Amino acid sequence: MAAPATPDSGAVERIVIENAAIATVDAQDTEYASGHIVVAGNRIESIGAGKAPEGLANVVRRVDATGHLVTPGLINTHHHFYQWITRGLATDHNLFNWLVALYPTWARIDEQMTYAAAQGSLGMMARGGVTTAMDHHYVFPKGSGDLSGSIIRAASEMGVRFTLARGSMDRSEKDGGLPPDFAVETLEGALAATEETVKKHHDASFDAMTQVAVAPCSPFSVSTELMKQGAELARRLGVRLHTHGSETVEEEKFCHELFGMGPTDYFESTGWLGDDVWMAHCVHMNDSDIAAFARTGTGVAHCPSSNARLAAGIARVPDMLKAGVPVGLGVDGTASNESGELHTELRNALLINRLGAHKEAALNARQALRLGTYGGAQVLGRATQIGSLEAGKLADLVLWKIDGIGHASIADPVTAIVFGAAAPVTLSLVNGRPVVENGRLLHADEDAIARSTRDEAQRLARIAAES
């Protein structure tokens, strides 16, 4: 989608940022040692070296960003917000054992718990520089209330851009799947609720703050019919498709036993390869799987911390990038990555991939930053709108403080924020509006969220123990 022209009205308010190191993450990886960005309304109006142009009208704020690196806002492409209230459990399990241990608890969530967990997940990400969040929510217990609505409300209140991947599960133990029977929906129920969520909440416009994707959970928790009809539904409604794929060797075995083929062939046979699809993990991919993703434009949400915690393996990110596969980063649910911060994924993507076949040449700091910004925009289908700092794009950006104790002695600004500790966020803008200032959320009470998430975690544990 082409960028509509920035309204050239004298009434539009401007924010001017000057004296910053800037990493634009544009196609040429343009950087400025000291540059400026002018934000007009919700767009980037101009960006370049040196001071901002003089004589700009309606400048409501001028930011001296000395000692800061400005980057595009971070984009998270895979998460399960509800897991915020089941962190620290089943800490020494592989994926299938971990799922079996947690499904019974997850199946007891309600709207109040989901809302609190969404606030916790969103708050932690926003204060760490995430400007576009996503939630793959696939647990909808009967009578649990309007879970999708509560998650979208939390994102909208926090002020971050958001994609809800409306998940579903309909293959339970009685059908050879992994979740217990009481934790799943019917095929018809899942499709109808997903369509309703898209129609109610999806905004297709250039500057959309809320989008919805169709997202059956995984091959081992979803029927083949739901995969196929889910893909048809997404294409009829013009929205994107998301699921988990090729996460573990156990999943590969499951696919061969049940479907007589590996996960990528199974996805292809159900309509799940395409440039409107992105898939979480993709750890166990051979050369022909990677070629199929590249040929079809299927995207990947790389989740290195979760893959390490569940001992799933190392995704072949350098090979995917070389083949032309779009790759973004995901924290994954916080029951398998208690940190819940995207900086951890920038750093772990770089470090963990160096433990793979390509060693120190696997990824560098700038490639890691690209995965967490432009790569995320690509897999969410929003690369013309967000993911890099360019005139005409939406004003989603972060000012990282790199002149403090943690970073001042690191030689290069991008190296500082990727290799170094999580840098403090002095200011983040989403859609031209401040969301974090001096490390604190502007539109939510962090202490209240800490209390409510602890209370809801305890309430969920009590209900799960009683049932």
**Which residues of the shown chain bind Zn ion in the complex (CB under 5 A)?**
280, 332
What does the block give as tokens for 75?
């984009």
Report how far residue 235's alpha carbon sits from residue 238's, in angstroms, rounded to the nearest whole number.
5
Please tell me what DSSP assigns to residue 394.
B
Do strands 299-302 and 327-329 pair parallel, antiparallel, or not at all (unpaired)? parallel
- Residue 47 or 280: which CB sits closer to Zn ion? 280
Phi, then psi, of 129 in degrees rounded to 5: 95, 5
* Residue located via tokens 């051979």: 286
Q: How far is the CB of 458 from Zn ion (least distance, A)?
A: 24
Q: Helices (DSSP H) in 183-286: which residue ranges?
A: 187-201, 224-237, 249-259, 263-269
The 10 Å Cβ neighbour count of residue 98 is 19
What does the block give as tokens for 172?
């339970």
- Residue 332 or 341: which CB sits closer to Zn ion? 332
- Residue 303 or 430: which CB sits closer to Zn ion? 303
Please tell me what DSSP assigns to residue 374.
I
Q: How far is the CB of 243 from Zn ion (least distance, A)?
A: 9
Q: How far is the CB of 333 from Zn ion (least distance, A)?
A: 5
Give the C-alpha distances (Å, rounded to integers) separating 253 from 227, 258, 321: 19, 9, 26
- Residue 52 or 130: which CB sits closer to Zn ion? 130
Q: Is 258 exposed, middle or buried (0-12, 13-18, 19+ CB in 10 A)?
A: middle
Q: How far is the CB of 97 from Zn ion (least distance, A)?
A: 16
* Residue located via tokens 């590249």: 294
Q: How far is the CB of 95 from Zn ion (least distance, A)?
A: 10
- Residue 14 or 281: which CB sits closer to Zn ion? 281
Q: How far is the CB of 57 from Zn ion (least distance, A)?
A: 47
Q: How far is the CB of 170 from Zn ion (least distance, A)?
A: 18
- Residue 301 or 394: which CB sits closer to Zn ion? 301
The answer to whether 385 touches 377, Cβ cutoff 8 Å, is yes
- Residue 227 or 429: which CB sits closer to Zn ion? 227
Report how far residue 466's alpha carbon sits from residue 443's, in angstroms, rounded to the nearest whole number.
36
- Residue 109 or 395: which CB sits closer to Zn ion? 109
Give the C-alpha distances (Å, rounded to integers) separating 216 from 8, 49, 99, 283: 43, 46, 16, 19
- Residue 332 or 396: which CB sits closer to Zn ion? 332
- Residue 45 or 135: which CB sits closer to Zn ion? 135
Contacts of 181 (CB under 8 A, 6+ apart): 172, 173, 174
Do strands 130-137 and 161-168 pair parallel, antiparallel, or not at all (unpaired)? parallel
| SS3 of residue 71 by DSSP | strand
Q: How far is the CB of 163 from Zn ion (least distance, A)?
A: 14
| SS3 of residue 93 by DSSP | coil
Q: How far is the CB of 9 from Zn ion (least distance, A)?
A: 44
How many alpha carbons lie under 13 Å from residue 294 in its C-beta half-sphere?
15
- Residue 280 or 346: which CB sits closer to Zn ion? 280
- The residue at minimum Cβ distance from Zn ion is 332
Report how far residue 160's alpha carbon sits from residue 181's, in angstroms, rounded to the nearest whole number.
35
Give the type of residue at 38.
V
Give the C-alpha distances (Å, rounded to integers) separating 166 from 62, 135, 137, 424: 40, 8, 6, 32
Q: How far is the CB of 332 from Zn ion (least distance, A)?
A: 5
Select from 136, 128, 37, 150 the least CA-distant residue to 435: 128
The answer to whether 380 touches 240, Cβ cutoff 8 Å, is yes
Q: How far is the CB of 301 from Zn ion (least distance, A)?
A: 8
Q: How far is the CB of 339 from Zn ion (least distance, A)?
A: 15
What does the block give as tokens for 262?
């590996």
- Residue 14 or 302: which CB sits closer to Zn ion? 302
